[in-house]
Amino acid sequence: MAKEIERKFLVDISKWEKRGTAFNVIQGYLLVHPKRVVRVRIIDQKAYLTIKGNLDGIVRDEFEYEIPEADARELLKMCEDFLVEKTRYILYYFGKKWEIDCFHGENEGLVVAEVELNAPDEEIELPAWVTSEVSEETKYYNFYLSRHPYSQWQ
């Protein structure tokens, strides 16, 4: 069984410059349930179907499968609510892979950094451009942003 252990942080864009490898991402949710989500995602020209569930703090089950891009485009049409669009930057800091998501469309203005860990209690060095941790704040999860876009927050 695949496990994802991930921490999320808000990014101070005055301290972070867009660098690293960049990818265009569009994703939608076929199912959003309190215990699981099913996502379809296109990253540049590669597409994936992902099932996530059994969230326990910052740990959850994750199963991801590459699918044909044409299938993903059709599945995106079946998604409810808003599609999540973003540019993802990949960079490494103190040996850890960081993914910085700059959201577009209905979520324009939101920038979130994620780092995957090997264990929930793993110590990491935080870059100067991260601000508050939002790992367990549901409103920063992409599935939530697909239903309650950042542009509509008070």
Domains, the chain, ordered by start: 3-152 (2.40.320.10)
Q: What are 27-69's pLDDT values in tens digits?
A: 999 999 989 999 999 999 999 999 999 989 999 999 999 999 9
What is the rounded distance in angstroms from the CA atom of residue 98 to the CA atom of residue 95? 9
**DSSP code at position 83:** P
Strands of the chain (E only): list them.
Answer: 3-11, 21-33, 36-43, 46-56, 59-67, 84-93, 96-103, 111-116, 130-133
Q: Provide the whole-model pTM.
A: 0.94
- The answer to whether 29 is a known catalytic residue is yes
Q: Residue 111 pairs with which residues in a beta bridge? A: 102
Burial class (CB in 10 A: 0-12, 13-18, 19+), 123: exposed
Q: Residue 41 pairs with which residues in a beta bridge? A: 27, 48
Q: Which of 29, 89, 140, 141 is catalytic?
A: 29
Judged by DSSP in three states, 125 sits in coil
Mean pLDDT of the chain: 95
pLDDT (average), residues 96-103: 97
What is the rounded distance in angstroms from the CA atom of residue 98 to the CA atom of residue 96? 6
Question: What is the band of 154 on the pLDDT scale with cuts at 50, 70, 90?
Answer: confident
**pLDDT score recorded for residue 1:** 57
